[in-house]
Amino acid sequence: MSDMLAARLHKIGDPMQLERVPTPEPRPTDVVVQVTACNIVPNLKNVLAIYAEWFPYLPLPQLPAIFGLDTSGVVSQVGEMVTNVKVGDRVYINPGVSCGGCRACKRGEGPNCDLYTFMGYFSFGKDGQKMFDAYPYGGLGEYMTAPQENCIKLPDTVSFEQGARFGYLGTAYSALKKAQVGPGRTVLIDGCSGTLGLGGVLNALAMGATKIFGTGRNAELLQDVKALAPDRIEVHAVGDGSLKDFVLEHNGGEGVDAVISTLGPGSPKETLLEALSTLARGGVLVDIGGMMEHPELDLFHMMCSQNSVIGSLWFTNGEAQEMSDLAGSGALDLSVLEHHVFPLEKINEALDDGLPARHGGFSNFIITPDQALLGS
């Protein structure tokens, strides 16, 4: 094919335009993937406007551009130097690309690269346009290119719709790994019923966490989360008494080993501080939500209790493949996700209040150029 259909954004706030653009060709170490599923957030247009206004240090690609962050599909072409990916492979494309040559990249820490950039979204450095130029295709098109190392192989038991959720899931997985969550460990997922938070709960269950605590504002959603594993999950509604007392009561008088904060930019700092107070000695809070308020930390108490707070923005390719293998084994159960699929031609209708009411993090919104491959 000489060209393909893609949805391109020409101006922030405007509808996306369906256009014919050149079908990408792979460079020697790249692959071309036929897109099957691309995950979208319900308020994508507002999110892009917010990033352009609030986060000028996180630059968007030069417009017009093809957006679309989390993508799964089938490899259709491979470059001549590609060694471990072949045509026909079912893959999730990790959109995080880095330079490959700096010290962080050589340590396998791509997210710490100064050029780290999300294909189809935004960059974390002022020179991110270099990466956008190298990989200009996001998931809202029929095909896209990616480095071979960013192709995460999907087990046959993981659907393309589930694979397109790996961005949110992988962010939570990396945070749990940084906090060393596993058997014998307890964790609080602050905001457990949201898209990031539910990923934290599902991964914590798969990783063998002994007890999982979750917070949220919607009592019905919280009960849906608890129903995933009633003997291992305890939920607490925000504002329903002291969170610390709740944790101590349900955890044998002890605090938790880890807190994963999924609270977004509009959340009040008091909620994070309350979650921080639930940590046991030596516990760690990992922030993946991007809260914008500046909480006042009691550093002396943190020193004496050996607590720590760290940020975690994404995940490595290795972590993504680990998580994919967990899903393939059945330990990570993604069957609870509720998929709502829309054709690429309906991208603007879907973004303009065309999505059904969300069932918290259980809802999974997908755009697809190829309905025929879904579910396989």
pLDDT single digits (tens) 300-337: 999 999 999 999 999 999 999 999 999 999 999 999 99
- Rounded to the nearest integer, the mean pLDDT of the chain is 94
Residue pair 5/143 in contact (Cβ under 8 Å)? The answer is no
Q: What does the pLDDT average to over 62-72?
A: 96
Find residue 286's DSSP bridge partners: 260, 310
pLDDT of residue 371: 62
- pLDDT tens-place string over residues 160-215: 999 999 999 999 999 999 999 999 999 999 999 999 999 999 999 999 999 999 99
Domain-wise residue ranges, the chain: 3-165+337-373, 171-311
CATH code given to domain 3-165+337-373:
3.90.180.10
Q: Residue 367: what pLDDT? A: 96
Here the tokens at position 181 are 């969550």
Is the pLDDT at 50 greater than 80, yes or no?
no
Question: Rg (Cα) of the chain, in Å, rounded?
Answer: 20
Give the confidence band of 151 by pLDDT, cuts at 50, 70, 90.
very high
Sign of CA dihedral 224, 229, 230, 235: negative
What pLDDT shows up at residue 58?
A: 85
User: Which is the CATH superfamily of the domain at 171-311?
Assistant: NAD(P)-binding Rossmann-like Domain (3.40.50.720)
pLDDT over threshold 90, residue 17: yes
Question: Residues 12-31: what's their mean pLDDT?
Answer: 94
pTM beyond 0.85: the answer is yes
Q: Residue 53 pLDDT > 80, yes or no?
A: no
